[in-house]
């Protein structure tokens, strides 16, 4: 008889129920693999990998500057791993504590906890394990000063920023951003075992850079933050005043970035990069301020231009910090 789909196929010569069982088992295995992959993706998403990348960008260059060249590669690996686990732990706790906010905001509602891909209990345990792992890796792989600094950064991010400042004041990101300033200190101390002026200046650069970077993004998601009850500056202040704050913080960032030159022996690469990239940052900040004063809003404000450039600015500035001791 001619071939036909469905049950009629069982009457075909050479077809057996063994084939049917094989298909069923194969489908179940594929489904199981897909399920495991989804679980892994959910746990990775808890750690906010893109934020971790930015933190590591400010860690490794500090190690190059501290070593006056290339540090031992084993130390770089252990410090990066420890920093990765530390940041992943803090971000996971943030996802747990902000689950109610994340569920309201369009930008964050697809995170694992609001979508119930990972339970609150499991996410909390995961965060604790990552924190323990970070401490051990940094402590034994680098030194215990670096491990303690990572613990302080995590505690500040979780208890000061997430649990206290974020929902109470528009200055949440100003002071809460301190947690993200620790990677240069961790990188420096991993090499030297002590704190000095250069990593403190790098700490200050990230501190001053964080508000304009975050407020530019908050312009885009102003309605989300308002709906979630988070008093980000664009929610509680008119656009021209926010843009003015962005400009002044950007100016302070550029000025402080130039202080690293006289404090640390460098060639021409770093100060040149700080001037060029800083000038572009200031031009973007001025342009945003002008658009805000002209009454432009939403997409016409083009706040994301400054947000994206601020990411590029920080990455290029710290790349110059890493390359300068290798070239001069």
CA distance 303 to 255: 22
Residues near 131 by beta carbon (within 8 Å), at least 6 away in sequence: 85, 86, 89, 90, 151, 154
Q: Are 266 and 297 in contact (CB under 8 A)?
A: no
Q: Are 259 and 201 in contact (CB under 8 A)?
A: yes
User: How much is the pLDDT for 8?
Assistant: 42
Structure tokens at 283: 């031009």
Intra-chain end-to-end CA distance of the chain, in Å: 83
Query: What is the CA 316 to chain-centroid distance, rounded?
Result: 16
Q: Are 288 and 240 in contact (CB under 8 A)?
A: no
Structure tokens at 205: 């650069």
User: How much is the pLDDT for 90?
Assistant: 95
DSSP 7: G
The DSSP-derived string for 41-107 is: HHHHHHT-HHHHHHHHHHHHHHHHHHHTSPPPHHHHHHHHHHHHHHHHHHHHHHHHHTHHHHHH-TT
Residue with tokens 């302070």: 252
pLDDT digits (tens, 9 = 90+) for 42-53: 999 999 998 888
Predicted TM-score (pTM) of the model is 0.88
User: How much is the pLDDT for 26?
Assistant: 46
Residues near 30 by beta carbon (within 8 Å), at least 6 away in sequence: none
User: How much is the pLDDT for 180?
Assistant: 94
CA distance 42 to 288: 36
SS3 for 120?
Answer: helix
User: How much is the pLDDT for 298?
Assistant: 85
Structure tokens at 167: 């929902």
SS3 for 171?
Answer: coil
User: How much is the pLDDT for 16?
Assistant: 53
Handedness of CA 305, 310, 311, 313 (dihedral sign): positive
Could you state, in chain order, the average pLDDT of each consecutive group of 10 residues for the chain (328 residues)? 42 50 44 71 92 89 95 96 96 95 90 93 97 97 97 96 95 94 97 96 97 96 93 96 98 97 89 97 97 91 95 96 92
CA distance 66 to 188: 6
Q: What domains are there in the chain, each with its CATH number?
A: 50-327 (1.10.600)
User: How much is the pLDDT for 10?
Assistant: 40
Q: Answer left, alpha or beta for residue 68, where phi above 0 means left and psi between -120 and 50 means alpha.
A: left
User: How much is the pLDDT for 38?
Assistant: 87
């Amino acid at each position: 008889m001619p071939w036909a789909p469905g049950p009629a196929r069982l009457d075909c010569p050479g077809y057996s129920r063994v084939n049917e069982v094989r298909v069923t088992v194969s489908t179940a295995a594929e489904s199981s693999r897909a399920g495991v992959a989804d679980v892994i993706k959910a746990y990775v998403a808890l750690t906010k990998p893109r934020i971790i990348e930015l933190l590591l960008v400010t860690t490794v260059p500090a190690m190059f500057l501290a070593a006056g060249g290339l540090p031992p590669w084993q130390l770089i690996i252990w410090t990066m791993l420890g920093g990765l686990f530390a940041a992943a732990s803090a971000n996971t706790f943030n996802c747990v504590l902000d689950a109610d906010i994340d569920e309201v905001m369009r930008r964050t509602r697809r995170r694992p906890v609001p979508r119930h891909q990972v339970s609150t209990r499991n996410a909390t345990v995961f965060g604790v394990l990552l924190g323990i792992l970070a401490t051990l890796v940094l402590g034994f792989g680098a030194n215990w000063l670096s491990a303690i600094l990572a613990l302080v950064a995590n505690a500040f991010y979780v208890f000061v920023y997430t649990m206290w400042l974020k929902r109470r004041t528009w200055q949440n990101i100003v002071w809460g951003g301190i947690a993200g300033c620790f990677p240069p200190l961790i990188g420096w101390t991993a090499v030297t075992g002590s704190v000095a002026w250069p990593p403190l200046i790098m700490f200050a650069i990230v501190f001053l850079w964080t508000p304009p970077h975050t407020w530019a993004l908050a312009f885009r998601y102003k309605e989300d933050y308002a709906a979630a009850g988070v008093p980000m500056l664009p929610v509680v202040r008119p656009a021209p005043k926010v843009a003015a704050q962005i400009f002044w913080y950007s100016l302070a960032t550029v000025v402080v970035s130039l202080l690293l030159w006289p404090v640390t022996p460098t060639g021409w690469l770093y100060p040149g990069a700080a001037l060029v990239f800083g000038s572009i940052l200031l031009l973007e900040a001025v342009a945003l301020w002008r658009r805000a004063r002209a009454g432009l809003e939403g997409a016409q404000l083009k706040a994301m231009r400054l947000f994206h450039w601020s990411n590029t600015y920080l990455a290029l500035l710290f790349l110059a910090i890493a390359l300068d001791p290798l070239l001069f």
